[in-house]
Structure 1
């Protein structure tokens, strides 16, 4: 049984927890921050090629996209075991730091959630020494990942993204981070093991981590793990306290998948597009339209399942993360210029986004309860993938049935809590926006019997719902 002595080396779980609080001041001194010296370029050109090893070239390639995150948070003094605490309501401001990686030139940065958790004012120091503010855009606490937006007026260098799918035990890796405040500290080691599950405490456990021997210290959290080519293959997250050369990183493919889901969820709260896409985690995997919701802007403006999106505005799209990032700057009412490939031909389309309102903003829950008799929530992509693996199917999403109203159409057709609703009347129900589009579609308002599909105990079932007429239902209320 692994003791719960793991500490995450950054703001939330090492600067603000554990041994960091043995200092009476609870303040970690910041090392002098020196911006990268562009004047080195001329001298580098004169260095012998023997000294410019693959490690040197890898760090040089990736380092400009590594940023240093610092700020303050308020902690309860007694809970932290601080010297000088006077009672249960004693609070103190403490400094902390971590690392981030620029993934989009507009200033979007990936880091660990615990680096920015409860930080009052997130400050970011860029590769040129400039310090600016940032705001939290999206986060996933259980996966300890966050996306922040840095306030910049120039394009930032971005990290070269690699894949964690082909990592080999024993291959060389490099970590870059804000170790103890010494910015852009680089350490080297090897991949010690793959697919490690690591418990932090009784409430949290990391899954499928990369174990490495590179030195990871407080402040490294959120920084990149590189392969010898300088491609980012993971996010450094934790060390084993008391051990030597045992550290862990979240695999890059997992990071890309989770961050993409985070951004999609953030966008769905702001925008209605009606698009659902497929694509892999690596550059070049592409983005294909998997589903177009009924009555959606995507359907209205001519997008079709199977279309491959290659550009949004002026931004090339090579994978789903690119597409999600491209949508971040869109506002309701914007007309997005999309370049797509369809049946071997490239064509341009304009899709006008809409503001989340009405059923999608929350009324869809009431509508689904009154017209069908269900309470539903989106199923995680990871759950759908597990179903597809076990059932050898290709479902793209679904809605988990959390409750069924007695006597409702759903109840009459035998739909039960725990079922996963896959589609109604030929349209997929991958998310709540899909369900809203279906329930508001003119065909549905005429009250036909609509065929539905569900998954129950890894079996696909179907039936026919007599959906209540909205006007009649409103009159009854």
Structure 2
């Protein structure tokens, strides 16, 4: 009786073992999908998805790929780093993004995208969303705002982007960036307005105030591309990223559209923009902070400038003694260079402004008439 039970138990165990070993093969024979599977209907897109899809379809035809080539191979790019959003394809070449500004075929991009070509007559070409490549020429550049305007050659320009305003932006609003990161055409990234009123250094020792910070991914090649709001309106021009690695770290910066809408028409009219100022070279803010100085240190006064006519004094080159520190323009306090440049921009050219200046521990008021500092430096 015991032997029979053992035999039954052993037989059952062998059957179970055989089934265990054979299970994958049986499953493969019975359930393998050897023909294309039926597609499951997904239903309608979520409202947010549908809105994003429609926004991209509406805006992307107006976004272009910009290629700039220096006149001579091997010429180093001037003042451009790849972690600012541009992409160096080779020595003397630069790529970036731009967008259609008007029906006349003007393209807005970053100055640093075309800086290499602008020096000595290099070439610029633009690839449209249709895939066609069109030559372009530089209409005007504004290094102090990192903006440039191009003119397309003979072609029918895509429709211009709708223009919004940066005056009423709120932190947390949704943002959309369209560009050509790493040369990949028409990429869309989304995010939010992370912060407002950031400051960004630009050329000629200036600092742009009111800059938009966004966490929408901006990578090399996105420079000059549009930053849009949820209505598909232009609210900024992507210009730089903060990234130790050179790739997006979620901190991108865009020139506010209110600045763009002021500078670009001037570039189209005159080929350049007038920069109101008084003609000083300011000291580095980090050094001023270490010295406990709350204001803009005048390092040097440009000869023939309004500042020179008003008697402002820079740092003594022999002793290193401080000269003047500008602490206010009118009733507005000046703590950083951006405060001063913003006040000059608000005043305009040939305007009389009252400066509050500290020299040798004493405060005094100085009347200065602003001028185009680009002309003064010539």
Taking structure 1 as the reference length, what is the TM-score of the superposition? 0.44
Alignment of 1:82-121 (within 5 A): 93-119=91-117, 120-121=122-123
1:251-270 deviation per Cα after TM superposition (whole angstroms, max 9, x unaligned): 1111111112323433999x
1:205-254 deviation per Cα after TM superposition (whole angstroms, max 9, x unaligned): 44221000010011100000011111111000000122720110011111
Select which of 197, 200, 208 maps to 1:198. 200
Alignment of 1:291-330 (within 5 A): none
**Residue of structure 2 in register with 1:265 after alignment:** 270
User: How far off its partner does 1:121 sit?
Assistant: 0.8
**In 1, distance between residues paired with 2:369 and 2:228?**
42
Aligned length: 234
Select which of 39, 44, 54 maps to 1:57. 54
**In 1, distance between residues paired with 2:213 and 2:140?**
26
SS at match of 2:180: strand
5+ long unaligned stretches in structure 2: 1-41, 80-89, 275-308, 310-340, 353-365
5+ long unaligned stretches in structure 1: 1-45, 81-91, 270-373, 375-380, 388-395, 401-415, 422-431, 433-477
Where relative contact order (Cα < 8 A, 6+ residues apart) is larger, the structure is 2
The answer to whether 1:246 aligns with 2:251 is: yes
**Residue of structure 1 in register with 2:224 after alignment:** 222
The answer to whether 1:66 aligns with 2:63 is: yes
Alignment of 1:286-365 (within 5 A): none
**In 2, distance between residues paired with 1:254 and 1:151?**
26
Alignment of 1:7-86 (within 5 A): 48-50=44-46, 52-73=49-70, 74-76=73-75
Alignment of 1:388-399 (within 5 A): 398=350
1:255-294 deviation per Cα after TM superposition (whole angstroms, max 9, x unaligned): 111112323433999xxxxxxxxxxxxxxxxxxxxxxxxx
**In 1, distance between residues paired with 2:146 and 2:75?**
22
**In 1, distance between residues paired with 2:237 and 2:223?**
8
Is the Cα–Cα contact under 8 Å of residues 106 and 152 in structure 1 kept in the other structure? no
Q: Which has the larger radius of gyration?
A: 2
1:318-342 deviation per Cα after TM superposition (whole angstroms, max 9, x unaligned): xxxxxxxxxxxxxxxxxxxxxxxxx
Question: Pairwise CA RMSD of aligned residues?
Answer: 3.6
**In 1, distance between residues paired with 2:198 and 2:218?**
17
**Residue of structure 1 in register with 2:10 after alignment:** none
1:36-57 deviation per Cα after TM superposition (whole angstroms, max 9, x unaligned): xxxxxxxxxx983537522212
**Residue of structure 1 in register with 2:149 after alignment:** 147
Is the Cα–Cα contact under 8 Å of residues 94 and 116 in structure 2 kept in the other structure? no
Is the Cα–Cα contact under 8 Å of residues 193 and 212 in structure 2 kept in the other structure? yes
**In 1, distance between residues paired with 2:128 and 2:77?**
35
User: How far off its partner does 1:156 sit?
Assistant: 2.3
User: How far off its partner does 1:382 sit?
Assistant: 6.5
Is the Cα–Cα contact under 8 Å of residues 171 and 194 in structure 2 kept in the other structure? yes
Structure 1's consecutive aligned runs of 4 or more residues displaced over 4 angstroms after TM superposition are: 74-80, 200-204, 381-385
SS at match of 2:262: helix
SS at match of 1:115: helix
The answer to whether 1:137 aligns with 2:134 is: no
**Residue of structure 2 in register with 1:171 after alignment:** 173
The answer to whether 1:125 aligns with 2:121 is: no
User: How far off its partner does 1:115 sit?
Assistant: 0.6
**In 2, distance between residues paired with 1:247 and 1:266?**
28
Is the Cα–Cα contact under 8 Å of residues 106 and 156 in structure 1 kept in the other structure? no
Taking structure 2 as the reference length, what is the TM-score of the superposition? 0.55
Is the Cα–Cα contact under 8 Å of residues 267 and 273 in structure 2 kept in the other structure? no
1:249–1:419 CA distance, 2 compared to 1 (3 A): closer
**In 1, distance between residues paired with 2:211 and 2:63?**
21
